[in-house]
Amino acid sequence: MASTSSLLSSAVTEEEVTLTVKWSGKEYTVRVCGDDTVGELKRRICEVTNVLPKRQKLLYPKVGSKLADDSLLLSQLPLKSSLKMTMIGTVEDDIIVDQVDSPEIIDDFELGQAEAVDIKDKEVNKQKLRKRIDRCKIELRNPCRNGKKLLVLDIDYTLFDHRSTAENPLELMRPYLHEFLTAVYSEYDIIIWSATSMKWVELKMGELGVLDNPNYKITALLDHLAMITVQSDSRGTFDCKPLGLIWAQFPEFYNSRNTIMFDDLRRNFVMNPQNGLAIKPFKQAHSNRDKDQELVKLTHYLLAIAELDDISHLDHKNWESYNEDTFKRRRHA
């Protein structure tokens, strides 16, 4: 019974709708499916307008405030190609200025183990991932290297304090960033994945000197368009960074056994809990610039585990004690 009804509904919902979106005096065309969510529609709109999804307010005849719910399926709305949608939103250039005053949701909620497993295994989320794999092609800046593991790095609060202000962005860079990247590059290809937009990823990484450093190369940059929106019972919907997107496009190089991802938000690796390491956020750069040693300690960890064939069985929560144990083993050897 269940499979029959899901077949029936997927026949209806996979239908594509072409929508016209009006924004700032111009019209844009986006194509969506019924089984996309409002959140995904906003991503499509972002691709053509550069207005980040969280900045968009969507207006459409007869749907009221429903478009404020990012988890709502588009098949639940009376969308028609003949009607135009209006988007109200701030252009990206204003956002950095805005960021300083706007409170941001930064709480790193911890999902229960059972719930996290549930999200990763849910068919609807796997399907979202497959769709993202089809739509989002990763552009390589440098070739993948044979025999290397993969390190995926978040930017904000991981490599950079984006909430403090400074005349020179270098003052907000996490200490030892270049030393860290140089050292781990010997064993890992490096991909940077931020929940902001490509424009800012390139700008920030360029300003910090990460993109043209002679001592290491960045394999690829990914932004929010590569993320997927998932739903949890206790926390509602949120975006996350599914590593499966990378594994599907470069299966001869990267997989769940040789990839590790650093992010200050644990929820970002909910689709790959075994591959995530929750890094202590780097905040208040001006007072912590001289104290923060995380990247030095993590260099030791990454180089120590690089000799393992499979790093997915490690519990990265215990990375600090792994360092101590390795140190002790070496002293007693």
Q: Which is nearer to Mg ion, 40 or 154 (CB)?
A: 154
Please, are residues 191 and 221 in contact by the beta-carbon 8 Å criterion?
Answer: yes
C-alpha R_g of the chain: 21
Q: Which is nearer to Mg ion, 35 or 154 (CB)?
A: 154
Query: How far separated are the first and last CA of the chain, in Å rounded?
Result: 62
Q: Which is nearer to Mg ion, 49 or 268 (CB)?
A: 268
Residue 128 C-beta: closest distance to Mg ion, Å: 21
Closest CB to Mg ion belongs to which residue? Answer: 156
Residue 263 C-beta: closest distance to Mg ion, Å: 6
Q: Which is nearer to Mg ion, 16 or 104 (CB)?
A: 104
Residue 177 C-beta: closest distance to Mg ion, Å: 14
Residue 264 C-beta: closest distance to Mg ion, Å: 4
> Is residue 166 helix, strand or coil?
coil
**How many C-beta atoms surround the C-beta of residue 190 within 10 A?**
20
Residue 234 C-beta: closest distance to Mg ion, Å: 21
Token pair of 135 as six digits: 């739509």
Helices (H) and strands (E) in the chain, counts: 11, 11
Beta bridge pairs of residue 73: 37
Binding site for Mg ion (CB under 5 A): 154, 156-157, 264
Residue 230 C-beta: closest distance to Mg ion, Å: 17
Q: Which is nearer to Mg ion, 154 or 223 (CB)?
A: 154
CA distances 96 to 42, 87, 160, 163, 177, Å, are 20, 21, 14, 9, 22
Q: Which is nearer to Mg ion, 156 or 292 (CB)?
A: 156
Alpha helices, H only, 284-332: 285-288, 294-305, 319-332
